[in-house]
Amino acid sequence: MVMSDLEVCPAPSNNGIVLIENRLSTTTSSFQSFPAVSNSISEQNWEIAERRTDEILCLIRPTLVSDNNRREVINYVHDLITASLGCEVFPYGSVPLKTYLPDGDIDLTAISSPNVEESLVADIHAVLKGEELNKCSQFEVKDVHCIDAEVKLLKCLVQNIVVDISFNQLGGLCTLCFLEQVDGLVGKNHLFKRSIILIKAWCYYESRILGAHHGLISTYALETLVLCIFHLFHSSLDGPLAVLYQFLDYFSKFDWENYCVSLNGPVCKSSLDVAAAKEVPESGIDNLLLSEEFLQECADKFSVPSRGPETNTRAFPQKHLNIIDALKENNNLGRSVNRGRGVFHSAEMGLN
């Protein structure tokens, strides 16, 4: 697997990270007063705002230090489990994609035969608990516990970095490859990844709507929404702030009560038919980023069969928030959001 070559920033000053939330809050507050039509903002002001955004990104994007720390933790956990149990462990998600936030966790998946998955969960849990008690351990391991949900997950802290270990999550590895392909297609010095970092930061620090484990939106769902913005508006996007502006403008006006989000425009929930998403969105945009050939090739290469109760059905499970996976049309990426958690409404996004 080819890992990201997104250039990381030098480490910030000792107090740099402390300023992240305040600086981001200042920036988002400033553009909340932008005119509804971004073209009314002068090119000079956009350039100034984008330069300010680059300064913020150098505080919140991966640094050489954070990248090395996470790589060491990944290698440590990999070697520990592989040496003890003989199974392979791979990183996926925001760390190999290099789109994690300063306090972001590490996602790992242990690959094994499905018929030994239950025992592997217990075995890895035992290995980590043993390392938690090992006073001579290379790294400090603590707070090892298992989340016994539909998809089992082991969580622990290694050197005070949260590590989540899942099992046979081939979909996560395929998603990583897909997003790498998209980033290469977008280009512009990894504009897609830089925009993901900025929008994740806004959703996490400012709007508090990111976190699937808390009934909020998942990272991959958010990345798919960012991909929708690039797919529809890529020709007018030259900087992360422009992407964030378009993201907030588009999704604050989206009719979440009646429609699902798809790459090719809204799909009506009352007569849900994924094929209906083939129409060009109401904006009339015909210069889309991703061709049907590109999407079909990615779906062929990066889709994996569903696991669990969804294995034998093609029905799209409607939830409070409905986002159609670009790689699997019957996968609702918004399924983690609880009804009590309002997200992407104009009031929550500060655009009223």
Res. 10: pLDDT tops 70: no
Q: What is the pLDDT of residue 156?
A: 97
**pLDDT-derived band at 3, boundaries 50, 70, 90:** very low
Q: How confident is the model over 86-129, as pLDDT tens digits? A: 999 999 999 999 999 999 999 999 999 888 888 999 999 999 99
**pLDDT-derived band at 24, boundaries 50, 70, 90:** very low
Q: What is the pLDDT of residue 98?
A: 97
**pLDDT-derived band at 163, boundaries 50, 70, 90:** very high
Q: What is the pLDDT of residue 212?
A: 86
Closest CA to 221 of 205, 209, 206, 208: 209
Q: What percent of the chain has pLDDT over 90?
A: 63
Q: What is the pLDDT of residue 333?
A: 94
Residue appearing with tokens 């089992």:
152
Q: What is the pLDDT of residue 307?
A: 61
Q: What is the pLDDT of residue 217?
A: 94
Better-scored residue on pLDDT, 60 or 346:
60
Closest CA to 132 of 167, 109, 161, 156: 156
Q: How confident is the model over 188-230, as pLDDT tens digits? A: 999 999 999 999 999 999 999 998 888 899 999 999 999 999 9
Dist. CA 200–CA 100, nearest whole Å: 8
Q: How confident is the model over 268-317, as pLDDT tens digits? A: 988 775 444 444 455 455 689 999 999 999 999 998 876 655 544 568 89
CB under 8 Å to 35, separation ≥6 — which residues?
41
Secondary structure class of 151 (helix, strand, coil): coil
> Could you tell me whether strands 259-260 and 141-147 are parallel, antiparallel, or unpaired per DSSP bridges?
unpaired
- Supply the mean pLDDT for the chain: 83
Q: What is the DSSP letter of 235?
A: G
> Could you tell me whether strands 106-111 and 88-92 are parallel, antiparallel, or unpaired per DSSP bridges?
antiparallel
Dist. CA 183–CA 173, nearest whole Å: 16
Q: What is the pLDDT of residue 336?
A: 87
Q: What is the pLDDT of residue 213?
A: 81
Largest Cα span, the chain: 63
Name the residue ranges covered by the structural domains of the chain: 171-310
Q: Kindly state the average pLDDT of the residues 149-165.
A: 92
Q: What is the dihedral of CA 250, 255, 261, 266, to 10 degrees?
A: -100
Better-scored residue on pLDDT, 244 or 7:
244
Res. 19: pLDDT tops 90: no
Res. 60: pLDDT tops 90: yes
Q: What is the pLDDT of residue 308?
A: 56
Q: What is the pLDDT of residue 2?
A: 43
Q: Kindly state the average pLDDT of the residues 80-89.
A: 94
Better-scored residue on pLDDT, 7 or 88:
88
Q: What is the pLDDT of residue 304?
A: 82
